[in-house]
Amino acid sequence: MSNRGLLVVYAGASGVGKGTIMKKLLAADPNIRLSVSATTRAPRKGEVNGREYYFVTREEFENLIAKDGFLEHAEYVGNCYGTPKEPVFRMLDEGLDVFLEIELKGFLQIKESCPDCLSIFIVPPSFEELQARLEGRGTETPEVIAARLKTAREELEHHHLFDYVVVNDDVDRAVKEVLSIISDRKNKLAIKE
Ligand code: 5GP
């Protein structure tokens, strides 16, 4: 039986509550890891370099692209984001399930290079709820919120590309659903082998 971990693309609009669900997933399942991306975005209050992201300059980001250091990378509302390749492969080899919290363009690249990945799309109960959450968070300017909502609408139209769509109507319920999706995929893989 293969001990390789699952590669899980975990996507959803900005403000949908992905981070909150992710924290609970990490606490609930010791086999889950979250890949730490590199970004050219400025850190938000409370974000720590190497924990939420590796905060890099555009030049450093471009050097990483040139060195083929990313599994995928994309631009999102004016900033670059990318998944460092080496740590993800290392964790998968160790049998850990690695979550990539990424946007749509990155997911499409992963789907090409790793077609066996498991993909989960988190959606808000309604678009109004998403808008309220983004405004309530207070971490972005009105212009950035508007741009993020526009991107969220575009991304929602692509929900059918994902293996699973999970509605974040209740965080604990959504966490349970994601855990059950993971265990279902593992059971199916175990039967196949
Ligand atoms: P935020 O600025 O709110 O932290 O992230 C903005 C968007 O970029 C979110 O949808 C987030 O999931 C996505 N993102 C974060 N890291 C990566 C990455 O490494 N690659 C891609 N393609 N998207 C990412």
Q: Where are the domains of the chain?
A: 7-192
Q: Cα(29) to centroid of ligand 1, in Å?
A: 23
pLDDT digits (tens, 9 = 90+) for 122-180: 999 998 998 898 888 888 889 999 998 999 999 899 999 999 999 999 999 999 999 99
Which of 78, 120, 81 is CA-nearest to residue 98?
120
Does residue 1 surpass a pLDDT of 70?
no
Ligand 1 in contact with 155 (CB < 6 A)?
no
pLDDT digits (tens, 9 = 90+) for 70-126: 999 999 989 999 999 999 999 999 999 999 999 999 999 999 999 999 999 999 999
What are the distances in angstroms from CA 53 to CA 9, 38, 80, 112?
Answer: 17, 5, 12, 24
Higher pLDDT, 185 or 134: 185
Residue 139 is predicted with a pLDDT of 83
* CATH topology assigned to domain 7-192: Rossmann fold (3.40.50)
Does residue 13 surpass a pLDDT of 80?
yes
Calculate helix-pair angle for 18-28, 171-192, nearest 10 degrees. Answer: 60
Q: Cα(3) to centroid of ligand 1, in Å?
A: 28
Ligand 1 in contact with 53 (CB < 6 A)?
no
Q: Cα(110) to centroid of ligand 1, in Å?
A: 14
Distance in angstroms (rounded) separating the CA atoms of residues 31 and 28: 9
For the CA of 107, the nearest atom of ligand 1: 22
Q: Cα(135) to centroid of ligand 1, in Å?
A: 18
Residue 92 is predicted with a pLDDT of 97
For the CA of 155, the nearest atom of ligand 1: 10
Take atom 1 of ligand 1 and give the residue whose Cα is closest: 14
Ligand 1 in contact with 12 (CB < 6 A)?
no
Q: How confident is the model at residue 15 (pLDDT cuts 50, 70, 90)?
A: confident
Q: Cα(5) to centroid of ligand 1, in Å?
A: 22
Q: How confident is the model at residue 3 (pLDDT cuts 50, 70, 90)?
A: confident
Say if CB 104 and CB 158 are below 8 A apart. yes
Q: Cα(152) to centroid of ligand 1, in Å?
A: 12
Say if CB 52 and CB 187 are below 8 A apart. no
Q: How confident is the model at residue 2 (pLDDT cuts 50, 70, 90)?
A: low
Q: How many CB atoms lie within 10 A of CB 21?
A: 23
For the CA of 74, the nearest atom of ligand 1: 22
Residue 166 is predicted with a pLDDT of 97
